[in-house]
């Protein structure tokens, strides 16, 4: 887990450099404002049991939400269930299955990046449908703690 944590942190750093470049900023922009000051992240280990049991009311997925940070790196075992809604302002909402790409990470843009970029990047509205099959996923959520001064 520690090794996974370190590797994902390195991937997150590269990703945010690329995001800075895509915004027309210096690739070290976020580093310079101190985004990596005391870097921290959550590693969320998720297990969806697959079968519903009494009292679960068939609700053993994850309801629609967006993640709070800059971007979440998500690894899944390929069992379907994850869906995204590309246009969260559209009514009724249109949900699409996220295809599994072996060896690839799924990047979900978070609310913080949406806020920082004034909606240029939109946070990904996503959900996990309850599945018949057992499902595992690992969500890596970097927490950003820019230095407030200097
Ligand atoms: O299990 C998944 O594929 C998604 C998990 C998720 O959305 C989350 O942990 O925030
Ligand atoms: Fe999520």
In this model, does residue 150 exceed pLDDT 60? no
Q: State whether the beta carbon of 126 lies less than 6 angstroms from ligand 1.
A: yes
The DSSP output letter for 54 is T
Ligand that lies nearest to the alpha carbon of residue 138, given by its number in the listed order: 1
pLDDT-derived band at 52 (thresholds 50, 70, 90) equals: low
Average pLDDT for residues 130-150, to the nearest whole number?
Answer: 82
pLDDT at 125: 98
The burial of 48, by beta-carbon neighbours within 10 Å (0-12 exposed, 13-18 middle, 19 or more buried), is given as buried
Q: State whether the beta carbon of 66 lies less than 6 angstroms from ligand 1.
A: no
Here the tokens at position 64 are 């629609």
* pTM of the predicted structure, to 2 decimals: 0.90
DSSP E strand stretches across 59-147: 62-65, 71-76, 82-85, 96-97, 106-109, 125-128, 135-143
pLDDT in tens, 76-115: 999 999 999 999 999 999 999 999 999 999 999 999 899 9
Q: Which atom of ligand 1 is nearest to the CA of 81?
A: 3
Tokens 């005391």: give the residue.
38
Between strands 135-143 and 125-128, the pairing is unpaired
Classify the complex by whether its ipTM is higher than 0.90, answering yes or no. Answer: yes
Helix residue spans in 1-148 (DSSP H) = 2-22, 29-32, 111-116
């Amino acid at each position: 887990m520690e090794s996974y944590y370190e590797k994902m942190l390195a991937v997150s750093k590269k990703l945010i450099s690329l995001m800075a470049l895509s915004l027309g900023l210096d690739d070290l922009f976020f580093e310079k404002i101190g985004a990596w000051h005391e870097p921290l992240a959550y590693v969320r280990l998720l297990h969806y049991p697959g079968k519903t049991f009494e009292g679960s009311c068939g609700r053993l997925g994850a309801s629609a939400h967006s993640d709070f940070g800059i971007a979440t790196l998500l690894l899944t075992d390929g069992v379907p269930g994850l869906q995204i809604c590309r246009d969260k302002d559209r009514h009724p909402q249109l949900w699409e299955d996220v295809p599994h790409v072996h060896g690839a990470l799924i990047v979900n843009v978070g609310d913080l990046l949406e806020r920082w970029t004034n909606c240029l990047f939109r946070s990904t509205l996503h959900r996990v449908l309850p599945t018949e099959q057992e499902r595992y996923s690992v969500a890596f959520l970097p927490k950003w703690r820019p230095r407030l001064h200097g």
